[in-house]
Amino acid sequence: MYPTLLLASVAAALLSACGGGLPTPGTTPAPSQAPTPAPSPSPAPLTAAGVWLAPAYGYVLQITPTPQGYRWARFDYTSQGCLLSETQQLPASELALRLQIDPAQRLAQYREAGQVYSPGIEFAPASALPTQCSEAQRRRTVDEAGYRADPNADLQLIWHTFAEHYHDFHLSQTDWRALRPAANALAASAGDAEVFAAACTLTSALQDGHVSIFYGEDSCTTTRKPMLSDLLAEEYASQQQWTPPLNPSQQAALQDYVSQGIQQRKALPALRYAHTGTAGAAANQQLQWFITAEGYGYLAIHQLSGFSAQDTLASDVEALEAGLAQALQQLGQTKGLIIDLRYNSGGYDETALRVMRRLLPAAQTLFSKQARLGETRTALRPVRLSPAEGSYRQPIAALISNSTFSAGEILALSLRNRPRTVLIGEASGGALSDTLVKRTSGKVNFSLSNEFYYSPQGEWFEARGVPVSIPAALPSSADLAQLHDPGMVAALAWLRQQ
């Protein structure tokens, strides 16, 4: 297990969650208490106003007409309780973009601004709120009048949310029922800090990089595989002969070493292989490219978010599309392309698919996905894309690693079935599911995995990661000194044979 609590700021940068949800063949999920059955669907014609349920995600929307438009209220619920998590006043035009109603299927799909190609969360109409979400029964949050702190209830809420929505406890061989905290596990004087600490301990057994607990500036995540940041931290601590707990000065030095090590590895391909005058960068430096002396292209995609100064999908999509157009205008005539995803920490599924559109030679099913629904699952939803105009059609060698994470893995999974394409490096981090983001009544928030992503062949790579065809290690410190990059060597060797 690889806890990342000591490197909170580094982890926050590296563990960006896949997007596609409300914000912010595998084994069967372990038995747990099933979610409360949804109220019967409303027989009235579908309109945006009313109650909408997504039981696989534990989300409820209540949309009420007002003189100014609509009041949008989102609730998070389990079989044991309900919290009001978000309220907004929306004009009709924005509501129509967010909640896209399909009358033929009596469903509505939630999509963020800018979300076009990735599936949104599906909601079905209901006649009323679940009983536990009624005004009389729901718990108040710290943001509302009438809030009363109850740390033990919050800890139980976290446990129940995982029991009802976490995709597969068998991945970590965890008996979740045996880990349920006692009703009075926390002292009467406990607060959010104690809830945070207890939740970190509780969820660490899952070893899932998409399971995180957040409290203020602190977060905890335990990954299944050592990411590059973990390896560099261990390397530096060993060199300095430091043992935890580290003091603030040591932590700062450790984070500097990790950041510098990652940046050196990102810069290595251009230092060694870029032909003079061909290097470029765009989209907030998250896209970097060059052409080798032999005429092969190189495109590094360091994240699948953070392409713009604004922290929204819509702004990121705009900046990414502009950056890709600029990069592929220069790289379009190369005889083969290296896509470097080794340090890609994730982002949005939507941006991964927008990259993929520009790399497809023909229409293709990239993957399918579904979510846990009690003891069953939602319907499998295939994701199929057609190529963008002028898409890149030459051979592609894609570099991935343990540090290829989340939406970076979705891009790797999509590339895996592209014709004349090979994956090189090491299997990805193994956290493909989108993150299901939840809150407690206090100031502790948390996320979990509740979805299954399958290759077109029906393979499930959660935990083990998307596999490679040609192994290649990440550059070591000794490799850096010699400007040697094992992944680049392997990628160029493969492209020369195409």
Q: What angle do CA 216, 178, 33 make, to 5 degrees?
A: 85
What pLDDT, on a 0 to 100 scale, did the predictor assign at position 35? Answer: 38
- How far apart CA 441 and CA 195 sit, in angstroms, is 11
List phi, psi (to 5°) of 203. -90, -10
- How far apart CA 134 and CA 131 sit, in angstroms, is 5
* Chain segment 282-309, per-residue pLDDT in tens: 999 999 999 999 999 999 999 999 999 9
Pull the structure tokens for residue 397.
């060698």
Least confident of 2-11, 57-66, 398-407, 420-429: 2-11
pLDDT band at 106 (very low <50, low <70, confident <90, very high): confident
Q: What angle do CA 44, 47, 50 make, to 5 degrees?
A: 80
What pLDDT, on a 0 to 100 scale, did the predictor assign at position 39? Answer: 46
* Chain segment 430-481, per-residue pLDDT in tens: 999 999 999 999 999 999 999 999 999 999 999 999 999 999 999 999 999 9
What's the average model confidence in pLDDT over 154-163? Answer: 98
Kindly give the pairing relationship between strand 212-215 and strand 444-449: antiparallel
pLDDT band at 82 (very low <50, low <70, confident <90, very high): very high
- DSSP letter for 36, please: P
In the predicted structure, residue 63 carries a pLDDT above the cut 90: yes
What is the CATH code of the structural domain delimited by 255-439+449-496?
3.90.226.10
Which residue is it, tokens 């981090």?
429
Contacts of 410 (CB under 8 A, 6+ apart): 18, 349, 352, 353, 367, 432, 453
- The most distant pair of C-alpha atoms in the chain lies apart, rounded to whole Å, by 70
Q: Show me where the domains of the chain are located.
A: 255-439+449-496
What's the average model confidence in pLDDT over 177-205? Answer: 97
Q: How far is CA 331 from CA 184, 326, 339, in A?
A: 61, 9, 11
